[in-house]
């Protein structure tokens, strides 16, 4: 099938290599235009200083440069995408629009609307798998049902990946770049500034967060020598353990196929140590949660296990004050507060600490997991609906393959185990830096005379604990008892 003119719509896939929609459009079309839309329907909900918008802005600029070097151009719009894409397709007299799948409920609704508008004008709509390796119903149980437990899903995923190596094959761009359409006016139009989009610069540059395709490449190259120890280092927030690629995976400045292909090839050659399969398993979690969201859209706003919607969470002024203290890092539990400070200052939170802080909000403070999920959604640089929702439902025990409701993280023992020397805590809570390695995990247990010697006064320099963990644990077990009754 040969198409005269096509339009490729970039969304959460801001790269010009190994890109499904662009690859297929170039192979099937005589002329391919490219577009990115700063979607006002999404931007309207964001704060004016948002690192994610900053990151996208820099990454779009790099994408535009790369497409121009390949002989094409990137049209950049600031509009409601559902209306702008059919309108642009008409202006270009495009016969088809190509895009990559998005699995979030609102995105599915938007894409259905766009496809209908295009069909009404006798234009074609093509969408491709790109942000996951396996999607929707591609990995099913022997009874042809979606998995709801991760480990058997992972095993089936790995088996299918080995049986279908083509799933990792690169979808090249450069060999087909001659089909890219040059700028419509002969010269590229200037890209909109952050100010023109209604935003201000964040502290993204100050934090030295790498952006775009080049930033993702540098991070991956930096991670590969550390990969072998990932299985150990990943749990300690003071160590340089993670890949730090989550933001790039979220916005598609790196190809998941490329990452998996590289790791699998390394493992097949006997490399990667014990860390490689563990990191690969983390990438598979992304596919798992994307599948769960697609198959169970009710999880956006409700428990995966409906019985857990019967839980009565703490409400009222005291609960609101406790939630505010959690958000602002004033719970009195240093590891929790340091983690929230990291999130608020940088937009990043270590994965181990996401579990610790979520469990504390839900099972120590008795606050609805959806409130924490929404706070993370607003502040995480790498916010992804499927993964964020999956993580919060895991912590609340309401999700698929979640921790049992009676498994309740002790924030002190978590601190002693994963930040034993207090390095992470001291970085984000400098007011506690004078405390010893054993004292820093629970300042309220330190003799008051010793605190005074170190010029630390609880209630002035650092808060008293909001709750006592042992008492909170008993209340949580009572709160969750309703699940057994309902179930």
pLDDT averaged over every residue in the chain: 96
pTM attached to this predicted model: 0.95
Which of the following is catalytic: 9, 125, 326, 369? 369
Active site residue 313: yes
3-state secondary structure of 82: helix
For the stretch 27-67, pLDDT in tens is 999 999 999 999 999 999 999 999 999 999 999 999 999 99
What's the confidence (pLDDT) of residue 487?
46
Which of the following is catalytic: 135, 138, 282, 300? 282
Active site residue 369: yes
* Final residue in a domain of this structure, among 272, 295, 318: 295
| Statement to judge: residues 154 and 120 lie in one domain | no
What's the confidence (pLDDT) of residue 186?
74
Beta bridge partners of 76: 36
| Statement to judge: residues 119 and 164 lie in one domain | no
| Domain annotation covers residue 114 | yes
Give binding residues for FAD as ranges. 230, 279, 282-289, 382-384
Give binding residues as ranges. 230, 279, 282-289, 382-384
Beta bridge partners of 38: 78
**Buried-exposed string 137-162: b where 16+ CB fall within 10 A, e elsewhere:** ebbeeeeeebbbebeebbebbbeebe
| Statement to judge: residues 29 and 63 lie in one domain | yes
| Domain annotation covers residue 110 | yes
| Statement to judge: residues 261 and 372 lie in one domain | no
pLDDT at 440 over 90: yes
Average pLDDT of span 303-308: 94
| Statement to judge: residues 310 and 449 lie in one domain | yes
| Domain annotation covers residue 202 | no
User: Domain range for residue 111?
Assistant: 3-130
What's the confidence (pLDDT) of residue 407?
85
| Domain annotation covers residue 178 | no
pLDDT at 486 over 70: no
* Final residue in a domain of this structure, among 83, 104, 130: 130
Can you point out the beta strands (E) in 41-150? 75-79, 96-100, 124-128
Average pLDDT of span 278-302: 96
For the stretch 238-247, pLDDT in tens is 999 999 999 9
| Domain annotation covers residue 453 | yes
pLDDT at 401 over 90: no
What's the confidence (pLDDT) of residue 405?
82
Active site residue 62: no
| Domain annotation covers residue 122 | yes
Which of the following is catalytic: 285, 296, 300, 344? 285
| Statement to judge: residues 100 and 229 lie in one domain | no
Average pLDDT of span 336-358: 98
The token pair that represents 212 in the structure block: 């775009």
Domain count, the chain: 3
Average pLDDT of span 297-322: 96
pLDDT at 2 over 90: no
| Statement to judge: residues 415 and 446 lie in one domain | yes
| Domain annotation covers residue 473 | yes
Active site residue 285: yes
| Domain annotation covers residue 184 | no
Active site residue 392: yes
| Statement to judge: residues 160 and 289 lie in one domain | yes
CA distance 282 to 265: 17
What's the confidence (pLDDT) of residue 485?
57
Active site residue 351: yes
Average pLDDT of span 425-449: 96
CA distance 105 to 13: 18
Contact 386, 289 (CB under 8 A): yes
- Residue 279, domain CATH: 1.25.40.80
| Statement to judge: residues 114 and 7 lie in one domain | yes
| Statement to judge: residues 113 and 251 lie in one domain | no
3-state secondary structure of 237: coil
pLDDT at 402 over 80: no
Q: What is the DSSP string of 336-355?
A: HHHHHHHHHHHS---HHHHH
Of the chain, the percentage scoring pLDDT greater than 90 comes to 95
Which of the following is catalytic: 135, 138, 296, 313? 313
- Residue 385, domain CATH: 1.10.579.10
| Statement to judge: residues 219 and 282 lie in one domain | yes
pLDDT at 184 over 50: yes
* Final residue in a domain of this structure, among 273, 295, 317: 295
pLDDT at 264 over 80: yes
Of the chain, the percentage scoring pLDDT greater than 70 comes to 99
Which of the following is catalytic: 138, 300, 314, 351? 351
- Residue 67, domain CATH: 3.40.50.620
| Statement to judge: residues 246 and 99 lie in one domain | no
């Amino acid at each position: 099938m040969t198409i005269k003119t096509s339009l490729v719509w970039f969304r959460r896939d801001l790269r010009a290599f190994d890109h499904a929609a662009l690859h297929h459009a170039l192979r099937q079309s005589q002329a391919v235009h490219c577009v990115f839309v700063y979607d006002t329907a999404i931007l309207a909900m964001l704060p004016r200083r948002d690192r994610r918008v900053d990151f996208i802005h820099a990454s779009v600029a790099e994408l535009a440069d790369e497409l121009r070097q390949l002989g094409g151009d990137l049209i950049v719009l600031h509009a409601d995408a559902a209306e702008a894409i059919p309108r642009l397709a008409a202006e270009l007299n495009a016969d088809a629009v190509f895009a990559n799948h998005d699995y979030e409920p609102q995105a599915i609704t938007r894409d259905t609307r766009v496809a209908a508008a295009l069909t009404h004008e006798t234009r074609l709509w093509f969408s491709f798998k790109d942000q996951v390796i396996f999607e929707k119903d591609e990995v099913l149980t022997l009874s042809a049902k979606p998995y709801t437990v991760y480990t058997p899903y992972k095993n089936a995923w790995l088996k299918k990946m080995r049986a279908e190596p083509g799933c990792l094959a690169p979808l090249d761009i450069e060999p087909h770049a001659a089909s890219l359409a040059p700028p419509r006016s002969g010269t590229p139009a200037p890209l909109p500034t952050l100010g023109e989009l209604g935003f201000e610069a964040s502290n993204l540059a100050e934090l030295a967060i790498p952006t775009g395709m080049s930033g993702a490449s540098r991070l991956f190259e930096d991670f590969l020598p550390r990969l072998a120890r990932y299985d150990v280092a990943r749990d300690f927030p003071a160590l340089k353990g993670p890949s730090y690629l989550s933001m790039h995976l979220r916005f598609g400045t790196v190809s998941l196929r490329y990452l998996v292909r590289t790791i699998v090839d390394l493992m097949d050659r006997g490399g990667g140590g014990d860390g490689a399969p563990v990191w690969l398993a983390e990438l598979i979690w992304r596919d798992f949660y994307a599948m769960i969201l697609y198959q169970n859209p009710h999880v956006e706003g409700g428990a995966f296990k409906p019985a857990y919607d019967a839980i009565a969470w703490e409400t009222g002024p005291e609960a609101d004050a406790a939630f505010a203290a959690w958000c602002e890092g004033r719970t009195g539990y240093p590891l929790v507060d340091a983690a929230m400070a990291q999130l608020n200052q940088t937009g990043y939170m270590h994965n181990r600490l996401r579990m610790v802080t979520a469990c504390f909000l839900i099972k120590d403070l008795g606050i609805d997991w959806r409130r924490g999920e929404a706070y993370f959604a607003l502040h995480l640089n790498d916010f992804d609906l499927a993964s964020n929702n999956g993580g919060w439902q895991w912590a609340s025990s309401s999700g698929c393959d979640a921790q049992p409701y009676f498994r309740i993280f002790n924030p002190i023992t978590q601190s002693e185990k994963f930040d034993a020397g207090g390095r992470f805590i001291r970085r984000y809570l400098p007011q506690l830096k004078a405390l010893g390695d054993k004292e820093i995990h629970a300042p309220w247990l330190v003799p008051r005379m010793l605190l005074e010697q170190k010029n630390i006064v609880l209630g002035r320099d650092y808060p008293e604990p909001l709750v006592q963990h042992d008492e909170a644990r008993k209340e949580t077990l009572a709160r969750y008892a309703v699940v057994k009754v309902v179930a």
